[in-house]
Protein backbone atom coordinates (compact mmCIF):
# COMPACT_ATOMS: atom_id res chain seq x y z
CA UNK A 1 0.00 0.00 0.00
CA UNK A 2 1.33 3.39 -0.87
CA UNK A 3 1.64 6.25 1.54
CA UNK A 4 -1.08 8.18 -0.30
CA UNK A 5 -3.56 5.27 0.04
CA UNK A 6 -2.84 5.02 3.78
CA UNK A 7 -3.42 8.77 4.23
CA UNK A 8 -6.77 8.57 2.40
CA UNK A 9 -7.99 5.62 4.46
CA UNK A 10 -7.18 7.23 7.84
CA UNK A 11 -9.78 10.06 7.59
CA UNK A 12 -12.38 7.61 6.31
CA UNK A 13 -11.71 5.25 9.21
CA UNK A 14 -11.82 8.12 11.71
CA UNK A 15 -15.04 9.37 10.14
CA UNK A 16 -16.54 5.88 10.36
CA UNK A 17 -15.49 5.53 13.98
CA UNK A 18 -16.98 8.93 14.80
CA UNK A 19 -20.24 8.03 13.04
CA UNK A 20 -20.36 4.70 14.88
CA UNK A 21 -19.84 6.47 18.21
CA UNK A 22 -22.66 8.92 17.38
CA UNK A 23 -25.00 6.08 16.47
CA UNK A 24 -24.17 4.18 19.65
CA UNK A 25 -24.85 7.32 21.70
CA UNK A 26 -28.17 7.83 19.90
CA UNK A 27 -29.19 4.23 20.58
CA UNK A 28 -28.27 4.62 24.25
CA UNK A 29 -30.39 7.79 24.53
CA UNK A 30 -33.32 6.01 22.88
CA UNK A 31 -33.00 3.09 25.30
CA UNK A 32 -33.05 5.46 28.26
CA UNK A 33 -36.08 7.26 26.81
CA UNK A 34 -37.87 3.93 26.40
CA UNK A 35 -37.15 2.97 30.00
CA UNK A 36 -38.41 6.32 31.27
CA UNK A 37 -41.58 6.16 29.16
CA UNK A 38 -42.24 2.53 30.18
CA UNK A 39 -42.01 3.53 33.84
CA UNK A 40 -44.31 6.51 33.27
CA UNK A 41 -46.80 4.29 31.44
CA UNK A 42 -46.76 1.74 34.26
CA UNK A 43 -47.33 4.42 36.87
CA UNK A 44 -50.19 6.01 34.93
CA UNK A 45 -51.96 2.68 34.38
CA UNK A 46 -51.83 1.49 38.00
CA UNK A 47 -55.44 2.49 38.67
CA UNK A 48 -56.69 0.82 35.53
CA UNK A 49 -54.77 -2.37 36.29
CA UNK A 50 -56.14 -2.42 39.83
CA UNK A 51 -59.68 -2.10 38.45
CA UNK A 52 -59.12 -5.00 36.07
CA UNK A 53 -57.70 -7.12 38.90
CA UNK A 54 -60.73 -6.33 41.06
CA UNK A 55 -63.10 -7.19 38.18
CA UNK A 56 -61.22 -10.40 37.47
CA UNK A 57 -61.39 -11.38 41.15
CA UNK A 58 -65.14 -10.84 41.27
CA UNK A 59 -65.73 -12.80 38.05
CA UNK A 60 -63.58 -15.82 38.95
CA UNK A 61 -66.27 -17.69 40.92
CA UNK A 62 -68.78 -17.08 38.14
CA UNK A 63 -66.41 -18.22 35.41
CA UNK A 64 -65.38 -21.25 37.41
CA UNK A 65 -68.91 -22.66 37.33
CA UNK A 66 -70.20 -21.21 34.07
CA UNK A 67 -67.09 -21.11 31.89
CA UNK A 68 -68.66 -23.00 28.98
CA UNK A 69 -71.77 -20.85 29.01
CA UNK A 70 -69.63 -17.68 29.19
CA UNK A 71 -67.55 -18.81 26.20
CA UNK A 72 -70.68 -19.66 24.24
CA UNK A 73 -72.28 -16.29 25.03
CA UNK A 74 -69.08 -14.42 24.14
CA UNK A 75 -68.87 -16.28 20.84
CA UNK A 76 -72.49 -15.53 20.03
CA UNK A 77 -71.95 -11.85 20.82
CA UNK A 78 -68.85 -11.82 18.65
CA UNK A 79 -70.67 -13.35 15.67
CA UNK A 80 -73.61 -10.98 16.12
CA UNK A 81 -71.21 -8.05 16.41
CA UNK A 82 -69.42 -9.00 13.23
CA UNK A 83 -72.69 -9.33 11.33
CA UNK A 84 -74.20 -6.09 12.67
CA UNK A 85 -71.40 -3.80 13.89
CA UNK A 86 -73.61 -0.71 14.33
CA UNK A 87 -75.93 -2.59 16.67
CA UNK A 88 -72.96 -3.80 18.69
CA UNK A 89 -71.59 -0.27 18.97
CA UNK A 90 -74.99 1.05 20.06
CA UNK A 91 -75.42 -1.70 22.65
CA UNK A 92 -71.89 -1.15 23.94
CA UNK A 93 -72.57 2.56 24.39
CA UNK A 94 -75.83 1.82 26.20
CA UNK A 95 -74.13 -0.73 28.46
CA UNK A 96 -71.35 1.72 29.28
CA UNK A 97 -73.86 4.47 30.04
CA UNK A 98 -75.85 2.08 32.24
CA UNK A 99 -72.72 0.98 34.10
CA UNK A 100 -71.69 4.60 34.68
CA UNK A 101 -75.20 5.47 35.85
CA UNK A 102 -75.20 2.52 38.26
CA UNK A 103 -71.76 3.46 39.58
CA UNK A 104 -72.83 7.07 40.11
CA UNK A 105 -76.05 5.99 41.83
CA UNK A 106 -74.10 3.75 44.22
CA UNK A 107 -71.75 6.61 44.97
CA UNK A 108 -74.62 9.00 45.71
CA UNK A 109 -76.45 6.45 47.86
CA UNK A 110 -73.24 5.92 49.82
CA UNK A 111 -73.08 9.66 50.51
CA UNK A 112 -76.72 9.80 51.67
CA UNK A 113 -76.26 7.03 54.24
Q: Give mean pLDDT, residues 26-38.
A: 96
What is the reported pTM?
A: 0.42
Angle between helix 46-83 and 3-44 (nearest 10): 90
Proportion of the chain above pLDDT 90, given as a percent: 41
DSSP 3-state helix, strand, coil percentages of the chain (rounded to 5)? 95, 0, 5
What pLDDT score does 4 carry? Answer: 58
Positive or negative, the CA dihedral 20, 24, 30, 33 is negative
Amino acid sequence: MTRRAVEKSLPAAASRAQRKAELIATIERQRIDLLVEAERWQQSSLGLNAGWQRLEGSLKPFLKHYRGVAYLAAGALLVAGLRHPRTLIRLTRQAAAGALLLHRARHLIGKVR
